[in-house]
Chains A and B, each alone.
Chain A
Amino acid sequence: MPTTDEVAAMMVGDGSEAVDKCDVVITQQAGPCQRIFELHVGYMALHYPLLFPYGEDGWHPNIPLNGVIANTDLDEDHAKKAELQRKHYNATMVEFYGYRFQHRDTDGIALIRGDRLRHQYIVDAYAAIEQNCLKYLCLNKKKLRAGLYQGLQDAIVAGDNNATAIRIKIILPFSFIVGPRHMVQNYQDAMAICRWARCPDAFVTFTCNPQWLEIKRALLFGQ
């Protein structure tokens, strides 16, 4: 549970003091709205006070995984080594929200019983994860060798001699769900299965009925 001195500080001055770039500085006099980033620890607690009445901490980039040393506690050599091995020592956003969405008897009930507010929270979390992922793709084009595709694109669009029309393109990798590459890959997989097992005779869709006894039994009282 965060305490008051941990969540905020009062400042006087012209704002030239060095602050973390994700910190939010709210001015006294009316000014433009400030954006709170998904990386801010209070991102969810500030927006869902009924789900997090104690202002519980949300995701931030330095939550250590169980049984490993926090990245910030590593000395420089070890931090570099960890970076090279591409091991992640901190919980990712997906892991964090995946953990929080589960029902645990030891947890408070506000988050699990929040009804429509919980739905909104889940959608919000999804948007935060997606935004974070897209931002990563945007900032790591080099790592993902997007430059390679760029040349290919240029060749395909032969005859396009208007340089101003060429903009920076970000290619969504196949691992990005609902991206065109992901769709095409799924389609190709389905076709490959058909080639091996011949065309399907029936197409089965399965819907879940919330009135099912098995589901009702698993629900809590009044849920």
Chain B
Amino acid sequence: MAKSSYNNPQFSLCCENGKVLLPNLPATPQELEVLLTNKDASVVKFRDQIHMYNSVLAFTSLDAKVDESVTRGPGPYSFRIQGELYHRIRSLCPAEGQRPQFAQLYIHDTKCEHQNYHTVMPSLDPTTLDRLLTMMYNINPYVEVFKMARDMMVTEGAPMDLKLRLIAS
């Protein structure tokens, strides 16, 4: 900021003085809002484990060359990587003999039984996870897409080389 001075400080980090204007984030769904703001013991536990809940529901996985020498040291948790940080997504179906992971769970979960999710991370509270899954199935456009892919795959006579293209912009 060239114009900012000691006597006349200006703050432009938020929106470059109005130059950047993005659409508002829509109101958070009720189920999630309760989990994020309440003070009950069970809800506080959810916030402690929020990254685990997130990774069960996520479509992509994080991938990087992690430096293990600093991850188990004293002090706050640190995560040091070398090279690039990747977000990766797997094929629609898991490989022979492997458990479904990440986005594959949304395809695998044919009757919405949510059973697969509980086996992935047994330490999570099943009712909370069920509630979040129902929310995801109701509102998330990416879940809708994977559900669509699943429906197309199970219809008889479906081609074997079905591909799902996620549009970049």
Give the residue among A49, A51, A61 with the most B Cβ atoms within 10 A. A49
> Which of B18, B95, B169 lies in contact with A60, CB distance below 8 A?
B169
Query: Does A107 lie within 8 Å of B91, measured CB to CB?
Result: no
A25 touches B18 (CB 8 A): no
- Any chain A CB within 8 A of the CB of B16? yes
Which of B19, B79, B145, B169 has the most C-beta atoms of chain A within 10 angstroms of its own C-beta? Answer: B169
Inside 8 A of B38's CB, which chain A residues have their CB?
222
- Give the number of residue pairs across the A-B interface with Cβ within 8 Å: 249
Known: A12-B163, A54-B140. A110 touches B25 (CB 8 A): yes
Q: Does B90 contact A (CB under 8 A)?
A: yes
Chain A nearest CB from B128 CB (Å) reads 11
User: How far is it, in angstroms, between the C-alpha of A26 and the C-alpha of B87 when the chains are bound?
Assistant: 14
Question: Across the interface, do A117 and B50 meet the contact criterion of CB distance under 8 Å?
Answer: yes
Could you say which of B54-62, B67-75, B112-120 contacts chain A?
A: B54-62
- Return 23 A-B CB contacts under 8 Å, by A number: A7-B166, A9-B164, A11-B163, A11-B164, A11-B165, A26-B103, A30-B95, A30-B96, A30-B98, A33-B61, A37-B168, A45-B142, A46-B58, A49-B54, A50-B132, A54-B139, A63-B22, A95-B20, A98-B14, A98-B16, A108-B28, A109-B37, A221-B37
Instruction: List B residues at the A interface (Cβ < 8 Å).
Output: 13-16, 18-29, 32-33, 36-39, 47, 50-51, 53-54, 57-63, 79, 84-96, 98, 103, 132, 135-136, 139-142, 144-145, 148-149, 152-153, 159-169
